[in-house]
Each structure stands twice: as structure tokens, then as C-alpha cells.
Amino acid sequence: MHPPPLVPLAVLRPERVALVEDAAGRKLVLKRIPRRFRLEPHAQAAMATEIRALERLEAQAPGVAARLVAAGEDDRGPWMLSTFLPTAPLAHRRFSAPEAAFARSLEVLAAVHGAGVIHGDPSPENWLVDDGGAFGIDFDLGRLLDEECIIHAAVRGTLAVAAPALLRGAPPNAATDRYALAASFAAVLLGAPLRTLTGGPIAVLARGAEEKLPRSALDAIARPLADTLYTYLADPAAT
Ligand SMILES: Nc1ncnc2c1ncn2[C@@H]1O[C@H](COP(=O)(O)OP(=O)(O)OP(=O)(O)O)[C@@H](O)[C@H]1O
Ligand SMILES: [Mg+2]
């Protein structure tokens, strides 16, 4: 099945994610697997995970993520179409009160978890938050808790914010999601990642897997937000 007729508006990720408009003038997001990965079972499983996660969230926790509009497969491979959320990614820092933005984000993440969905990679690019709301996007490295975990983020998610447990190869869980969200807020507020990415992915993985972040890493963030963030960064279920 082909996607419905769509007008392209902008490329959000080359070869992969596009902002489009349908015949009714709705802004939607069309996601595909890049040509070179199209036959990879992992890439297909990841998209299938994201589709099932969005369906589950729509049924059990509406309003915490984009809504799946349609999905299918054509001669270019699998595709999925979801609603466009006009909220900026966390990385863009479009919120005036960081503490309220983090609290709102934690509530949304708890609702995602309450529906039995683990996000897997709530990074500054995969979390939308501004003064109006918070939403998860890009659930393709996540899992549904009542299904077998087909894929996980060990080497494929955002290394700079991934929880040590994940870097050691554990499947993502609620605590690793909260760790990544806290690390993402910390990185955005500090203007630098907590984990430096020098030395290439293998070195970063090895160092990150053993990491015990000192509380002083958050000293430049005002209290009590820094204390709150640190509780998630020191959670034994994530570290
Ligand atoms: N539903 C949406 N609403 C608003 N913006 C979106 C939406 N989906 C994607 N985006 C924007 O497009 C960017 C890329 O989308 P997404 O994170 O899903 O793809 P990706 O990171 O390329 O995928 P992957 O991590 O699976 O390789 C996001 O960081 C976000 O800025
Ligand atoms: Mg992404």
C-alpha cells in the first residue's frame, strides 16, 4: 500500500523523515527506512516497534505522543505517517521554566510507561517540550513491556545521554528512560553533554558503561532541579 497523496513541505531527516501535508491540509510526518538499511531486519523491527508503540499509546495514554495516521509498505519499503506536533525538541530549549518543563516531561514519561511502553531513547532530539506541553517522539528503539524485546538501544541510541545499564547491554526500562530524560535536560541546561564523546563510539560505550556521575557535574544547574535530576542519574536501576 502506498501512502495517501502528500505534498512535501520540509525534510526533517534526509532519506528518512519528512514533514508533509495531506489533501485535507493536515501537517503530517512521513517516516521511511533509508534505502541502504531497507532490507535490514533490525531497521524493519524498529519501525514495527514504533508503529505498535504509537497504537498502544493512542489507545491507553492519548496525548503523550504523535498519533499514527497510517502505515504500510510499498516498493520503497515500509512507511509510517503520524501527526506533526508543533512543539520544539528539548534541544531547542523553548521553555521558560526548566523545573516545570522537567516535571511535565516526567509526568508524560510516566504515562507512557503506564501504558506499558518504554521509549528507549528520550534524547534532546526525541523529546518535544515547550511551555505548552511535552511529548515523546521516535519510539523505534523502545519496547512494549508485555512483548518480547526485539531490539534495544545498546549501541544504536544516543550515546551521550544513554544510561550505563543500557550501554552494558541491558534492555531499556523505565529507569533508563528517566536517566536519559534527566541527562538530556542536564545537557541542554549546561550547554554540553554530561558524557564527552571523544575517543569514538567504542571508547564512549566502555567509559559510559562504568560511569558514576559525581553530583558536582550538575553544580552549574540551580537547586532544587539539579538535585531532582541527580536522583534519576544515580538510580541503581539505570546505572
Ligand atoms: N510527530 C512529530 N512532530 C514534530 N516533529 C517531529 C515529529 N516526528 C519527527 N519530528 C522531527 O523530526 C526529527 C526526526 O524524527 P525522528 O526522531 O522520528 O527520526 P530519526 O531520529 O531520524 O529516527 P531514528 O532515531 O529512528 O533514526 C525529530 O528530531 C523532530 O525534530
Ligand atoms: Mg530521533
50 lines ligand 1 (CB under 6 A): no
**Structural domain includes residue 239:** no
Residues 76 and 98 placed together within one structural domain of the fold: no
Residues 71, 202: Cα–Cα separation, whole Å:
35
Residue nearest to atom 18 of ligand 1 (CA): 138
**DSSP tag of 137:** -
Residues 124 and 72 placed together within one structural domain of the fold: no
CATH assignment at residue 76: 3.30.200.20
C-alpha cell at 88: 520544539
Domain residue limits at 33: 6-83
Of the candidates 172, 170, 186, the one whose C-alpha atom is nearest the C-alpha of residue 233 is 186
C-alpha cell at 116: 506499558
Choose the catalytic residue: 121, 130, 140, 177: 121
Residues 180, 191: Cα–Cα separation, whole Å:
16
Residues 30 and 106 placed together within one structural domain of the fold: no
Residues 110 and 181 placed together within one structural domain of the fold: yes
Residues 101 and 215 placed together within one structural domain of the fold: yes
Residues 63 and 111 placed together within one structural domain of the fold: no
Q: Is the peptide bond before 224 cis (omega within 30 degrees of 0)?
A: yes
158 lines ligand 1 (CB under 6 A): no
Pocket test for ligand 1, best of 12, 68, 141, 152 (most atoms within 8 A of CB): 12
Domain total of the chain: 2
* Structural contact between residues 218 and 191, judged by C-beta atoms closer than 8 angstroms: no
pLDDT tens-place string over residues 95-150: 999 999 999 999 999 999 999 999 999 999 999 999 999 999 999 999 999 987 76
Q: Which of 83, 109, 124 is the last residue of a domain?
A: 83
Residues 214 and 123 placed together within one structural domain of the fold: yes
Q: Which of 29, 63, 83 is the last residue of a domain?
A: 83
* Structural contact between residues 158 and 180, judged by C-beta atoms closer than 8 angstroms: yes
* pLDDT < 70 positions in the chain: 150-156
pLDDT at residue 154, rounded to an integer: 54
Interior/surface letters 156-166, b for 16+ CB within 10 angstroms, e for the rest: ebbbbbbbbbb
pLDDT at residue 201, rounded to an integer: 84
| Phi, psi dihedral angles at 72 (to 5 degrees) | -175, -165
Residues 30, 78: Cα–Cα separation, whole Å:
11
Residues 211 and 226 placed together within one structural domain of the fold: yes
74 an active-site residue? no
Residues 59, 143: Cα–Cα separation, whole Å:
16
Pocket test for ligand 1, best of 15, 17, 123, 152 (most atoms within 8 A of CB): 17
Residues 149, 143: Cα–Cα separation, whole Å:
6
CATH assignment at residue 114: 1.10.510.10
pLDDT tens-place string over residues 149-165: 766 655 568 999 999 99
pLDDT at residue 6, rounded to an integer: 98
